[in-house]
Structure 1
């Protein structure tokens, strides 16, 4: 796009959208006068502190001088929240009428009080450690004031939804033992001192795991993304997207999808993503024929999906890895395929909308018009370039690292510098990318090759990140630190070096420009972290309440009662509750809230129905629906931001965006039942599900099938394929999609998956089956929590080495023959099935009985059902071709 250049965002960008992203992500207060530099200064210092603790520098200084300059994990969490408490009081106005151009006295007081309550744990850490669980009056006063100021901070930075949720949990701690509560949800209660100590004075509450992940991991990745964006990478990604897709039908909308996906690599907020890319894409979508609500909805769907895209995933990736015990490198592989499939489907939905509206693409000037062959050649060249880059990172750098491990850092730095200077030499021969005004007339689209060559150096920090994580196997925190240092180096040097390569033109101002981009990135990263730090601190209250009271068991029993034994109904209820709990919350906050309550429910209730669900799959399930809350009316903040830019109705925009995201909502249900979509399969060892990567060819098959299925489902939801669909064709496309996604659904109707035999035959079955076989056992017994009812649980045990059935079953479960039934003894603590003591009363009048033993049946391959699905899809194509009046592409 060639338009008039400007150094700031386009003047047509809506102020309302900027206000929303400021109030949610970075704070709407911008003081003037003597206070002008106060908030930026504190934010800059916070970023410096986070870089300092992530670097090897503290250990070097302490070793050289003997000074205590190394902070432990608890101290880091406390100082991290103290910075957030200061900045939230200064940057986020308390009310809509509070001044935005100055910091009032009451906010100074709240900032000081909040920070003091945090730092109390550092200053008096030795005294606190000497009296574990025995709070003094001062401890209780500090804890109480700390929780109150944290609640005020939550309200200011995140609004009422999270504050209400946290307040409900706190109320449950203090009043959950009351007689007026139902027995099913009542707990034994805790003293005020015990609760305050639990929430504030130790690492089980506010200063728990969630805040620790925020302090050690999330901040660095958010800072990395902020500096990357301020240095020009955001504009670079937008230009690439428009260059590649702008000439296609609905080109600006397709470019919005791709640009938001690229922004999702480093962005931690769907709302910020909407404003960053939507400022440019939404006006262009409207000018090419999209109605205001659909233009906004496309950007909303694209931006919310950006939070599902590895490696950052709205900063929640690190929390998921921590909560599930999954290596971060494995997690980004699991999350990759669903995100890619979802984005391909969204591009296709945009294409179908463009077909329905009869839209064309943006013009290429005659001098730059490209033939189809040239376009395909450019696409293939891009794919080969990405493949060559991946080959270089994985094999060449990996080989050099293995060959010279002692000099791996020096080699990596040398290669980085060589490629950096080479990319700047290429970029210096071309004018810098300019930020376009979306309201200016469109004269031409840029060529992808020209755009790429101006910004190759922006890819290098991402390569550094992947190299550190995947090749050197550094921790994610240390990897993010080195990637951030690489990005800081680029931000400070790119403009001066390009000026020198251009013969010194503009050299004087280039140094200041680099420093300005670096400083703005440091400040922006810290300000974007304010709500995340506050949210993780508040989420610690939720997690602490659950650990103190066992509230998740109450939620599980409630949902189990509503689901009435139906696993699918249970998943739907969990999805709805995740949407409700996630409304109005930023990405990281809504994941913490919904995962704390809902993920254990999925695993436990799935197990009761005989389905072994990996914990990471359950967390991704609730994460997906928590993300979709960003565009779910009536609270979807991303929809309000998009509507502020498009001028459309925010509620209609939200409904339309949610309609586009239905295909994303389908994916979690599918990967719960078909873990191949997560590039994993589940191996069960002694009842414990272990996720293992599938072979590459299985992953490729899963990708191809998933894409076809998702495109069919997208066409069904849009009621348009090659032409408009009638209801028969729509139903057929839905059947095709569901069959391709889960062919085992039909196979189960034809051939039962298990051979069922009486529990009394357990020893004979175990003796006959080979070692390593998984036996599915159905246990029936008196409910531990409800002595008047008997329930059933399915579990899986693996046969061990041995000759007799008893030896092969092992000692994890003890079975005793009792006439015509097989009873089960209570498992010993520490064994894999010790949790059954919480489900069954093993000392009730009626014993726990092994009802049935199930072994896997020999069945047809489930993939056979792909054939009728593809035949049905072909029939739909044939019938639609007869009515087709518009070319499909």
Structure 2
């Protein structure tokens, strides 16, 4: 038996996310001060203050530091990682070598700030000092990654570095990528001295956006918002069958919206919900698994999505609001399905809910309350928009001040309402008697916590003729400022409204919450800052060597060009990498390597896969790794609270998350789930049908619908699920999805195509690497009028007829299809490149007709199971 003490859940969060070193008061105070300074620095560069100070003082450095922020950002991350995360067991002191590493890491980062003008004058001609500082920075970064993120990311980065340094000696790699190798000087300059490697897109997004959202979440948690989420969820759902488990799902979704860590989310809500689940009859493993599934799925939920939402903005090159739109429906469906799984588990075990004082709230009333809440929020939003529109002629461009006055009045009113009720305290989940709190005092007792979230959502999403939608960074900044005001003032204001008792004490408590939020935000960012920097090594290697071609050819060879096999391999790769990498780093690595391969293989199979669908696919499986045995850290954190077996907890949690693993495959083949090119009413239909399908899939995986399912009933339910999710599969068997045109008829068809109507062009040409003929599919959308040749020419495709063949010339750089065609095909080989066919969607029956037999089959299953039901379904 091991003598090593078992880590508590809080210790696991510290070890994985925030730093587990406890080296005495002096070092603790230093780490605390650095965290506060880092958070204030991030708020400073996000505000307009740098420009104002530069203008007032004439000192340009106040503003210049914003352009250099990513170097300072990584300097803070390396310094705090070195001081807060012990290595080789030194938890109670900071050894001399750590102080040396901390100083060297900061020096390597700030070198790029102090000597930026000299460096700019010699791009690519790096001096000896440049290379030495780059090497030092890389070593400290790798050690910091090992400290804060573990060995897997270091190993992966090391393999890519070996490829950069030694790949030029491999004839096979050279033939695939035309990479001839890189000297130490060239590689270090590429990784450290410019923005192609460590200081690339990922670290830039971490600097400008991710930190602010994480800080916002930390501030909300420390001010009491996290506890309010939990108590509202318990008051709403706690008295239902299996209520604490359902409350765990709801509260984890709410905290997961603004949390960047599934482990921290597990501990935040699980400390309270897991003991309650055990109390009503859940086993330790199932109680932990519900919390793990809920908390990992929190990273699917906009607006933060485990920080990946902001990276998708850069990698997919679409507005942030589009990422939120695409992510919304799968996240909601996944959470409702998890609620249903919990309900089925409760039915199978015959569980009850918590006792609750006052009037009981049934499922219909809960649904009415949710609908009323959404309608009320929409009404408030429209009212604010209307008032600002009325005031715009009177105060052009200044209606923001009126909006701020309305926000302040709403805040004061909500705090006054909260002061009429007892403060929302953190209950002891291990108490002998635990009851669900009443909804009205719980909801109104902390409703003001919703105002900063309202500010965030407003700035991210609202746009009218007179109002501009803000960037994610500015939205997070103003939401954080609103949260700072709430943290500082809600306690003293409630004390004033209650007669001024303990005003000084409450003011001090509010300031303490504010400072604790600044510290927690910075501590939560250490791992993310280091991860985005280290992942830049991988991205930099790909741009330096073309490594994605190597990985892509290996995966393509194994899959045999079959898209489904390829997707399964990518899913497994994401799960394996995600066992040792944080979600953000896993997403960066796998999307950089595999997104181009999925697009390429999909095109070869005649399937046009939207880029956002590929990135969401990779992201989903990266998240699922957090509860995948044997390494899922969220499962270990939940088991530390439940005192259950962590491996069993992970296995049960993963069984609950099978529904989440299904979604990525579905929205690759049915992009309606991502609301791509879907109208409002069609979106409602997609939501309703997809929700029913996902609930049925959950019932099939649990082996229980209205009663315990027989094998054939489960198979029938799965058939219904498949039909609801992919009705086009059956329609394709009856009618061809496309009209196919070849030769001159294809040119004529393109000329007749209405503007904005998509067509698919099949191109065959010799593969650039193998010389063998290969086929790909292009998505072509004509924008203007004209004949087929003119429309192709406008898109950069030069075509000329030779008999019945349509020969294609190499597209010019900068044209829409240059990257797709010129980089993969040889236009000067023995066989000419040609357009084989043009495919245009056929006018056929609506695929939704197949919903009818699916629902008839479902009705048959209900009729068969109803006589066997031993208890009400709800």
The answer as to whether partners of 2:290 and 2:342 remain within 8 angstroms in 1 is yes
Per the TM alignment, residue 398 of structure 1 is displaced from its structure 2 partner at its CA by 5.7
Determine the C-alpha separation between the residues in 2 that align with 1:799 and 1:834: 17
The answer as to whether partners of 2:763 and 2:776 remain within 8 angstroms in 1 is yes
Alignment partner of 2:84 out of 91, 96, 102: 91
Matched residue of 2:429: which SS?
Answer: coil
Alignment partner of 1:584 out of 571, 580, 594: 580
Determine the C-alpha separation between the residues in 2 that align with 1:867 and 1:33: 69
The match for 1:867 is: 852
Alignment partner of 1:509 out of 501, 505, 525: 505
Per the TM alignment, residue 780 of structure 1 is displaced from its structure 2 partner at its CA by 2.0
Query: Cα distance 1:798–1:621, how it changes in 2: closer, same or farther (>3 A)?
Result: same
Per the TM alignment, residue 813 of structure 1 is displaced from its structure 2 partner at its CA by 2.4
Determine the C-alpha separation between the residues in 1 that align with 2:751 and 2:182: 50
The match for 2:375 is: 387
Deviation per CA, 1:183-219, whole angstroms, max 9, x where unpaired? 4467321222111111001111111111111111111
Per the TM alignment, residue 769 of structure 1 is displaced from its structure 2 partner at its CA by 4.6
Question: Does residue 789 of structure 2 align to residue 806 of structure 1?
Answer: yes
The answer as to whether partners of 1:73 and 1:212 remain within 8 angstroms in 2 is no
Pairing of 1:569-580 with structure 2 (within 5 A): 569-580=565-576
The answer as to whether partners of 2:70 and 2:203 remain within 8 angstroms in 1 is yes
Per the TM alignment, residue 859 of structure 1 is displaced from its structure 2 partner at its CA by 1.4
Per the TM alignment, residue 56 of structure 1 is displaced from its structure 2 partner at its CA by 1.0
Per the TM alignment, residue 378 of structure 1 is displaced from its structure 2 partner at its CA by 5.8
The match for 1:476 is: 472
The match for 1:9 is: none
Of 482-491 and 588-597, more deviation after overlay is shown by 588-597
Per the TM alignment, residue 800 of structure 1 is displaced from its structure 2 partner at its CA by 6.1
Per the TM alignment, residue 781 of structure 1 is displaced from its structure 2 partner at its CA by 2.2
Determine the C-alpha separation between the residues in 2 that align with 1:254 and 1:717: 18
The match for 2:243 is: 251
Per the TM alignment, residue 556 of structure 1 is displaced from its structure 2 partner at its CA by 2.1
The match for 2:3 is: none
Per the TM alignment, residue 643 of structure 1 is displaced from its structure 2 partner at its CA by 1.0
Query: Cα distance 1:536–1:629, how it changes in 2: closer, same or farther (>3 A)?
Result: same
Determine the C-alpha separation between the residues in 2 that align with 1:546 and 1:577: 17
The answer as to whether partners of 2:617 and 2:664 remain within 8 angstroms in 1 is yes
The match for 1:735 is: 719
The match for 1:544 is: 540
Matched residue of 1:642: which SS?
Answer: helix
Determine the C-alpha separation between the residues in 2 that align with 1:32 and 1:230: 24
Pairing of 1:634-649 with structure 2 (within 5 A): 634-649=630-645
Per the TM alignment, residue 413 of structure 1 is displaced from its structure 2 partner at its CA by 1.8
Query: Which stretches in structure 2 are left out of the alignment for 5+ residues?
Result: 1-5, 463-467
Alignment partner of 1:700 out of 668, 676, 684: 684
Of 296-305 and 469-478, more deviation after overlay is shown by 469-478
Give the length in aligned residue pairs.
Answer: 857
Question: Does residue 667 of structure 2 align to residue 671 of structure 1?
Answer: yes
The match for 2:465 is: none
Alignment partner of 1:269 out of 255, 261, 271: 261
The answer as to whether partners of 1:176 and 1:185 remain within 8 angstroms in 2 is no
Question: Does residue 453 of structure 2 align to residue 462 of structure 1?
Answer: yes
Deviation per CA, 1:690-728, whole angstroms, max 9, x where unpaired? xxxx22111111110111000010001111101111111
Determine the C-alpha separation between the residues in 2 that align with 1:719 and 1:699: 30
Pairing of 1:318-337 with structure 2 (within 5 A): 318-337=310-329
Determine the C-alpha separation between the residues in 1 that align with 2:96 and 2:747: 76
Matched residue of 1:839: which SS?
Answer: coil
The answer as to whether partners of 1:154 and 1:162 remain within 8 angstroms in 2 is yes
Matched residue of 1:127: which SS?
Answer: helix
Per the TM alignment, residue 630 of structure 1 is displaced from its structure 2 partner at its CA by 0.7
Question: Does residue 871 of structure 2 align to residue 886 of structure 1?
Answer: yes
Per the TM alignment, residue 820 of structure 1 is displaced from its structure 2 partner at its CA by 5.0
The answer as to whether partners of 2:600 and 2:776 remain within 8 angstroms in 1 is no
Per the TM alignment, residue 462 of structure 1 is displaced from its structure 2 partner at its CA by 0.7
Determine the C-alpha separation between the residues in 2 that align with 1:458 and 1:801: 50
Alignment partner of 1:651 out of 647, 650, 657: 647
Deviation per CA, 1:3-33, whole angstroms, max 9, x where unpaired? xxxxxxxxxxx95211111111100113323
Matched residue of 1:613: which SS?
Answer: coil
Determine the C-alpha separation between the residues in 2 that align with 1:275 and 1:52: 31
TM-score normalised according to structure 1 size: 0.94
Determine the C-alpha separation between the residues in 2 that align with 1:474 and 1:401: 18
Query: Cα distance 1:75–1:803, how it changes in 2: closer, same or farther (>3 A)?
Result: closer
The match for 2:360 is: 370
Pairing of 1:79-228 with structure 2 (within 5 A): 79-95=72-88, 97-100=89-92, 102-179=93-170, 183-184=175-176, 187-228=179-220
Of 612-621 and 112-121, more deviation after overlay is shown by 612-621
Determine the C-alpha separation between the residues in 1 that align with 2:456 and 2:757: 41
Alignment partner of 1:500 out of 496, 501, 504: 496
The answer as to whether partners of 2:354 and 2:434 remain within 8 angstroms in 1 is no
The match for 1:430 is: 421
The match for 2:837 is: 852
Question: Does residue 58 of structure 2 align to residue 66 of structure 1?
Answer: yes
Deviation per CA, 1:301-352, whole angstroms, max 9, x where unpaired? 0001000001111122111112111111221122111100000000000001
The answer as to whether partners of 1:578 and 1:598 remain within 8 angstroms in 2 is no
The answer as to whether partners of 1:241 and 1:258 remain within 8 angstroms in 2 is yes
Per the TM alignment, residue 409 of structure 1 is displaced from its structure 2 partner at its CA by 2.6
Per the TM alignment, residue 657 of structure 1 is displaced from its structure 2 partner at its CA by 0.8
Deviation per CA, 1:772-812, whole angstroms, max 9, x where unpaired? 5543222222111112x221112233456566543344353
Per the TM alignment, residue 168 of structure 1 is displaced from its structure 2 partner at its CA by 1.1
Query: Cα distance 1:35–1:696, how it changes in 2: closer, same or farther (>3 A)?
Result: same
The answer as to whether partners of 1:426 and 1:453 remain within 8 angstroms in 2 is yes
Query: Cα distance 1:661–1:247, how it changes in 2: closer, same or farther (>3 A)?
Result: same
Matched residue of 1:316: which SS?
Answer: helix
The answer as to whether partners of 2:177 and 2:546 remain within 8 angstroms in 1 is no
The match for 2:776 is: 793
Determine the C-alpha separation between the residues in 2 that align with 1:596 and 1:805: 36
Of 862-871 and 830-839, more deviation after overlay is shown by 830-839
Pairing of 1:251-330 with structure 2 (within 5 A): 251-330=243-322
Deviation per CA, 1:817-875, whole angstroms, max 9, x where unpaired? 44454332222222222231222211111222333332322211100010011111111
Query: Cα distance 1:22–1:804, how it changes in 2: closer, same or farther (>3 A)?
Result: closer
Matched residue of 1:777: which SS?
Answer: strand
Per the TM alignment, residue 387 of structure 1 is displaced from its structure 2 partner at its CA by 1.6
Determine the C-alpha separation between the residues in 2 that align with 1:796 and 1:408: 44
The match for 1:685 is: none
The match for 1:815 is: 799
Per the TM alignment, residue 645 of structure 1 is displaced from its structure 2 partner at its CA by 1.0
The match for 1:6 is: none
Matched residue of 2:776: which SS?
Answer: strand
Query: Cα distance 1:124–1:336, how it changes in 2: closer, same or farther (>3 A)?
Result: same
The match for 2:68 is: 75
Question: Does residue 697 of structure 2 align to residue 713 of structure 1?
Answer: yes
Per the TM alignment, residue 753 of structure 1 is displaced from its structure 2 partner at its CA by 0.8
The answer as to whether partners of 1:252 and 1:284 remain within 8 angstroms in 2 is yes
The answer as to whether partners of 2:20 and 2:91 remain within 8 angstroms in 1 is no
The answer as to whether partners of 1:304 and 1:628 remain within 8 angstroms in 2 is yes
Query: Cα distance 1:122–1:800, how it changes in 2: closer, same or farther (>3 A)?
Result: closer
Per the TM alignment, residue 420 of structure 1 is displaced from its structure 2 partner at its CA by 1.1
Per the TM alignment, residue 370 of structure 1 is displaced from its structure 2 partner at its CA by 2.1
Matched residue of 1:419: which SS?
Answer: helix
Query: Cα distance 1:866–1:192, how it changes in 2: closer, same or farther (>3 A)?
Result: same
Determine the C-alpha separation between the residues in 2 that align with 1:768 and 1:33: 77
Per the TM alignment, residue 104 of structure 1 is displaced from its structure 2 partner at its CA by 2.3
Determine the C-alpha separation between the residues in 2 that align with 1:33 and 1:828: 64
Matched residue of 1:342: which SS?
Answer: helix
Query: Cα distance 1:35–1:838, how it changes in 2: closer, same or farther (>3 A)?
Result: closer
